[in-house]
Amino acid sequence: MKERHLKALVSGIAAVMLTAGIAMPAQAKQESYSSSKAAYKAVNQKAQKKLVSLKSARKSEGTADSSLRGPADPSYKMDVKYDAKTHKLTGKLNVSFKNNVKQNLSELYFNLWGRAADFKEKGGGMDVSNIRVNGKKAAFDVKETALHITNLSLPKNKKATVTMDFTVSFPEQQDRFGWYGDTVSMGNWFPILSVYDEEGWNVDPYFNAGESFYSLTGNFDVNVTTNRKQVIAATGTEQGKPKMDGELATHHYIAENVRDFAMEMNPTYKILSSKVNGVKVHVYYDDKYAKYAASLLESGKDSIKLFSKKFGKYPWPELDVVTMEGWFGGMEYPQLVMISLNENRKQEWVKSVNAHEIGHQWFYGIIGDNEYDEPWLDESFASFAAALYDNSLDELNVPPLSDPYYHISSKVSDFTARGNAGISAYYYTIYDYGSTALNDLRLELGDAAFYKAMKAYFKEKKFGISTTKDFISAMERSSKQDLSPFFRAHRIFPSDQN
Ligand SMILES: [Zn+2]
C-alpha cells in the first residue's frame, strides 16, 4: 500500500513526533551511514544479545524449522454471485491443499478479513457456514477475523479439501474492501487459508494503515456472476467470453502461482490496453479519470520493463491497473493494483504511486512475506522500486528516527502499540528509512553487485516466502561479504521476526 501524500506526511511526522516527544535530530539529515554506525552500536549490541539468546532457546526446543510453511499448494475454486444493488456477495469455496505441516493435523485456520471491526460500522461483514473437510461436516468457531476448524485428524503429506458457503457484505467506504459510487473494490474478500509456520498458525489482526496479510501461492479458478453491465478487473486471466443469462453474466478466471485473488468492478469502466515483454497491461478507468489513463498505461509498462530487468522477469501473463477513490495512494494485489485518484492528483505523482504498487508485484506478489511480522520486506522494497522508476534514488537519504525503539525489521504490532505516533513512525521507518537503507546497500555494494544479488534473491524466493534473515543471507552469499555490520547499523535485525 502507499499512503496518500508521502512527502507531506513526512513533514507531518516531524510534528507528530514532536508532540509525542520523539525528537528528530536537527543535524540528522547530514548524518552519513558510517557515523550512524557508531550511534547505534548500543542498540546493535542489545539486538545481538537477543539473537544469541533466541538461538539457544530454539535449540532447546529442538523442533524449529524456519522453512516449514503450510498448508502447501492451495488450489481454490470459487463460484460467487455479487449483487451490486445490495452490495452483497454469496459464494461457495472449495480449497484443496497438502498437509505438509504435521501428522494428524487437528485444526485449520482461515482469515476472514471482511469481519474486521473497521468495516462493521459501515455495513461490512463476512460469514461462513456448512464447512466440510474431505466431505465430512466439520466443527468450527469464528473469533474476530479468525475461522478455526477443529476436531480434525489429517494425515501428513496427503491432500485434503475444505468446502464452505460464505456471504460477504461490502461496506460503504473508499477503501480496498468496499463500495463507493459505482465502484466496488474487492480486496481480501473471501475466506483465505492462514499460514502455519514455526510460530504456529498466523491469525494476526487486520491492519488498516498497512497490511497484515500472509498467504502462500497457489492456483485460483473463479466464476463470478453479476449484472451483465459490470466491467470487471481481476487477478488472473478471463477464460473466453462471459456466459449471459438474462440480466446476469458469469465470468470465469484462472490464476496460477498467486497468493490472493482480487477484483474491482464498475459498469462505466473503459479499458486502455497494451503489451510489454509479452505481458498484457490493462488500465480500467471511468470518464472522470480519463486524463490519467495514458499515464497509468505508460508507467505500468515502464515499471514492468524496468523491474523485470533489475530484479527478475514478471511471471504472469497480465496486469490490471484499476482506478478507484481510496483514502490511500494505491494498493497491491497479485496481477491487480488499485490506484486511488481524485481530480487534483498530479500526473507524476500518479505514475510514481503506480510504480510503487507494481513494485509490490515483485515484493509481496512474487517474493512473499509475512506482512504483519516483517512489513519492510514488501513496503521498503516497493518504495525503493518507485524511486528507481522515478530516477530519484539519490533522494533516498532520510535518517532513522532518533528513538531507537523503531527498527526497519519491526513487526506491525510494535508500531501500533504506540498509537498514532507509532503509525506515523511506521510510515517513516518502513517506507522512507527502509528504502533509504536499501539505497545505502546499493551504494555500499555498487550497482552491479547489488542488482546481481537482488536477482539471486528473486530466483531463490520466487513464489515463496522470504524473511529478513533470508534477505540478508541472499545478499551476503551473492556479494561474498559479511554485511551484518551494515544491516545492524540500519536497524535491520534478523531476530525481529521471531
Ligand atoms: Zn506499498
- Per-residue pLDDT tens digits of the chain, which is 498 residues long: 887 644 334 333 433 333 333 333 333 322 333 333 333 333 344 444 333 333 333 333 344 577 899 999 999 999 999 999 999 999 999 999 999 999 999 999 999 999 999 999 999 999 999 999 999 999 999 999 999 999 999 999 999 999 999 999 999 999 999 999 999 999 999 999 999 999 999 999 999 999 999 999 999 999 999 999 999 999 999 999 999 999 999 999 999 999 999 999 999 999 999 999 999 999 999 999 999 999 999 999 999 999 999 999 999 999 999 999 999 999 999 999 999 999 899 999 999 999 999 999 999 999 999 999 999 999 999 999 999 999 999 999 999 999 999 999 999 999 999 999 999 999 999 999 999 999 999 999 999 999 999 999 999 999 999 999 999 999 999 999 999 999 999 999 997 443
Beta bridge partners of 368: 465
Write phi, then psi, for 69 (nearest 5 degrees): -150, 135
Write phi, then psi, for 131 (nearest 5 degrees): -85, 130
Residues flanking ion ligand 1, Cβ below 5 Å:
1-2, 379, 382
23 C-alpha to ligand 1 centroid (Å): 26
The position carrying cell 506478489 is 365
353 C-alpha to ligand 1 centroid (Å): 9
269 C-alpha to ligand 1 centroid (Å): 24
Residue 187 · residue 176 · CB < 8 Å:
yes
Domains of the chain: 6-64+368-489 (1.10.390), 69-265 (2.60.40.1730)
Q: How many helices (H) and strands (E) does the chain have?
A: 13, 24
Under DSSP, the state recorded for 325 is -
> 165: buried, middle or exposed (CB in 10 Å: 19+, 13-18, 0-12)?
middle
303 C-alpha to ligand 1 centroid (Å): 15
Residue 264 · residue 283 · CB < 8 Å:
no
* Dihedral angle sign, alpha carbons of residues 343, 346, 347, 350: negative
pTM: 0.89
362 C-alpha to ligand 1 centroid (Å): 11
DSSP-derived 3-state class of residue 366: coil
Q: Which three cell numbers stand for residue 161?
A: 479439501
152 C-alpha to ligand 1 centroid (Å): 37
Position 442 scores a pLDDT of 98
332 C-alpha to ligand 1 centroid (Å): 7
Distance, in Å, from the CA atom of 112 to the CA atom of 395, rounded to the nearest integer, reads 40
Residue 127 · residue 165 · CB < 8 Å:
no
261 C-alpha to ligand 1 centroid (Å): 17
Distance, in Å, from the CA atom of 118 to the CA atom of 248, rounded to the nearest integer, reads 31
**Cβ neighbours around 415 below 10 Å, total:** 25
